[in-house]
A and B are shown apart, each in its own frame.
Chain A
Amino acid sequence: MSRLLGRRTLLALGVAALAAVPTFANPYVVFVGNQLMLYVILAVGLNILVGYAGQLAFANAAMFGIGAYGTGLLQVHFGVPYYAAAPAGALLAMLIGLAMAWPALRLSGLYLALATLAFAQFTLWVFLHWESVTFGAGGFKVPPPSFAPLPLPSNLGIYYLSLLAMAALVAIAWNVVRSRIGRAFVAIRDGEVAAQALGIDLFRYKAIAFGMSGLYAGIAGALHSALLNYVSPEGFDLFQMVLHKAMIVVGGLGSLAGSVVGATTLTLILEALREFKSTQEIAFGALLLVFVIFMPDGIVAALKQRLQGWEEPLRRVRGRPGAAAGAEARP
């Protein structure tokens, strides 16, 4: 029984269900399903950085934007086909993520938060004001990618490409977090000095965490540009950042299944409240606040109690004051 209801079975069922959606659902549902998959990729990438490695970074929406802009602009300015532009955009986001590991080595906690916030604002400003390249506030149109030899229209092609990417990226993340690398992340999260004393190379593992999360966000961005056929700065602002943060907190910090659960929950709420920006802000702010205070381990903590076989390795330990980066900033 435990095997049947386990996390892996459920995730496999979820992938199968998503694969079947286009056969019966209308285009709107397909679109929402596609968006859901991108948010799963984003949430998994962010959770690796924040939930596992404990780095309080706020640049995920910017990385998402860099992936989307990189992919879109290569197509528009240089006529690069999508299948080459998308990996290039994702790699660009990964490289910028890797570069952020360098300041992150010297900064922790609040200082890292400020540096990444400033970086995110800077990125947004570049999208808005470097008009000769990024087309400014209005954004720009991206040609729909063609999946020529396959008998797929563009939107279904992107749908299945996203599904493939999501399944692969979740599987990779799953293997990474239970490997030596994942243990190193958690050791860094729970105490940098102690981790260093254990022989963990802080720079190397922070670089891996930032690079992975940049790559995930970049891939999501590359898919996003093709999903909308349109890229504009407002998709990558502070609201988007809070959305990603709320996903991993609601699902469960330091849990991959939690990233999936959180991304699903918040995508559905986002769609239900699509018309009302102010209500969205209140809802996501309140979700973030309520979960941090009353359910700091997120929805997966509740699932874990009810479903056997849901254990994940390296769950965060609760109730240890100053266990993470907080130890350094608190007097």
Chain B
Amino acid sequence: MLGYLVLSGITTGALYALVALGVVIVFKATGTVNFAHGDLFMIGGFLAFTFHVLMGLPYLVALALAVAAGFGIGILTDRIAFRPLMRANLVSLVLATVGFSFILKGIARSVWGGKADLFAFPPLISPDPIFLGPLIIIPQQLVAIGGAALVMGAFAAFFRLTRIGKMMQATADNPKAATLVGIRTDRVYMYAFGVGAAVAASAAVLMAPLTLLYPDIGFVLFIKGFAAAVLGGLSSLPGAVVGGLVVGVVEALAGGYINSSFLEVSAFVVIMVVLVLRPTGLFGATAVRRV
């Protein structure tokens, strides 16, 4: 029981971690949180569904196309909901992305179906569970965990090794100094939105076979990813991964040991408690108040 719950918690947690990574990368670059991030995830999932199930393309091709499309929609988010407001205050920035999130949700609902429509995404490999001693493993879980680890590795490499990644780090550390050495920070913001959305889309493609797809999945998933990111300190990439895993495992344990309906809500309770007791998260630096 415990082993099974922890494994399924790690599976969903790995995907929350991917969503949280997207939240953190946008936050690090721009200082705001993209409230449409969950809906970028949702659109990525539906696009993969269209490519894979409706058009019959192979899974990996659908994955690549969905990630590329996610990158594009992320850049669109930057253009529409962030760039015109770069000098506005936080309330405006957040409300603009909330508005964009509802536009995406409405589009998904009118393109892919009504409120109650749930879409099943076929698993990548055989759905038969593997029995490993007392442990029951659904192969797709391993695919999701492995895929998430791959994406995280690629993400870390991208940050450390590529020119764009280094430019992003420089901008996150000190935007003014980055501008002084010739980095076009507005480009960096754009790439941050794009990369964040691409990671969200990859998470959606990995998650879709395990859950169902529906237009409302985005915002709730965003709140959980945001919670995971804050748990990890909001500006720490390893923190986001740990935060995601913690949220996933806590959820699975609460759902297994208390009541299955607690699965949905435990993440929210955890984040409320953490925010009240330790507002900067587990890995966050001590907050500096700017006057």
Cβ of B92 under 8 Å from chain A: yes
A106, A114, A249, A320: the one contacting B223 at CB < 8 Å is A114
Contact yes or no, B88 A118, CB < 8 A: no
Which chain B residues in 202-227 approach chain A with CB under 8 Å? 219-220, 223, 226-227
Contacts of B102 in A (CB 8 A): 239, 242, 281-282, 284-285, 288
- Residues of A with Cβ closer than 8 Å to B? 50, 54, 56, 102-103, 106-107, 109-111, 113-115, 117-119, 121-122, 125, 129, 191, 193-194, 238-239, 242, 245-246, 249, 253, 277-290, 292-293, 296, 319-331
Contact yes or no, A288 B96, CB < 8 A: yes
Contacts of B94 in A (CB 8 A): 56, 110, 113
Contacts of B269 in A (CB 8 A): 118, 122
Q: Which A-B residue pairs are the 6 nearest by beta carbons?
A: A285-B102, A288-B99, A281-B106, A326-B90, A282-B106, A330-B31
Contact yes or no, A285 B272, CB < 8 A: no
B28 to chain A: closest residue by CB? A331
Contact yes or no, B268 A118, CB < 8 A: yes
Contact yes or no, A194 B291, CB < 8 A: yes
Contact yes or no, A111 B279, CB < 8 A: yes
Given A118-B223, A289-B80, A330-B32; A281-B103 close (CB under 8 Å): yes
Contact yes or no, B88 A246, CB < 8 A: no
Cβ of B282 under 8 Å from chain A: no
Contacts of A287 in B (CB 8 A): 99
Distance of A246 Cα from B219 Cα, bound (Å): 17
Given A193-B289, A324-B89; A292-B261 close (CB under 8 Å): no
B84, B90, B261, B275: the one contacting A324 at CB < 8 Å is B90
Contacts of A129 in B (CB 8 A): 261, 265
Q: List 5 A-B contacts (CB under 8 A).
A: A107-B275, A107-B279, A129-B261, A292-B88, A296-B88
* Chain B proximity of A52: nearest CB distance (Å): 12
* Chain A proximity of B83: nearest CB distance (Å): 10
Contact yes or no, B32 A329, CB < 8 A: yes
Q: Which of A102, A282, A324: most chain B Cβ within 10 A?
A: A282
Contacts of A282 in B (CB 8 A): 102-103, 106-107, 110
B interface residue count range (under 10 / 10 to 19 / 20 to 34 / 35 or more): 35 or more
* Chain B proximity of A58: nearest CB distance (Å): 9
Contact yes or no, B32 A110, CB < 8 A: yes
A118, A242, A328: the one contacting B290 at CB < 8 Å is A328
Cβ of B81 under 8 Å from chain A: yes
B28, B91, B115, B227: the one contacting A50 at CB < 8 Å is B91
Distance of A290 Cα from B84 Cα, bound (Å): 11
Given contacts A287-B99, A289-B103, A292-B95, could you give 5 more A-B pairs where the C-beta distance is less than 8 Å? A115-B271, A193-B289, A277-B106, A285-B100, A319-B87
Distance of A329 Cα from B226 Cα, bound (Å): 15
* Chain B proximity of A53: nearest CB distance (Å): 11
Contact yes or no, B96 A293, CB < 8 A: yes
* Chain A proximity of B82: nearest CB distance (Å): 10
* Chain A proximity of B262: nearest CB distance (Å): 9
Cβ of B98 under 8 Å from chain A: yes
Distance of A114 Cα from B88 Cα, bound (Å): 20
Contacts of A107 in B (CB 8 A): 275, 279
Mask, B17-31, CB within 8 Å of A = 1, is 000000000011001
Contacts of A281 in B (CB 8 A): 102-103, 105-106, 109
* Chain B proximity of A316: nearest CB distance (Å): 9
Distance of A317 Cα from B172 Cα, bound (Å): 28
Contacts of B88 in A (CB 8 A): 292, 296, 321, 326
Given A285-B102, A326-B93; A114-B226 close (CB under 8 Å): yes
Cβ of B124 under 8 Å from chain A: no
Cβ of B148 under 8 Å from chain A: no
B171 to chain A: closest residue by CB? A331
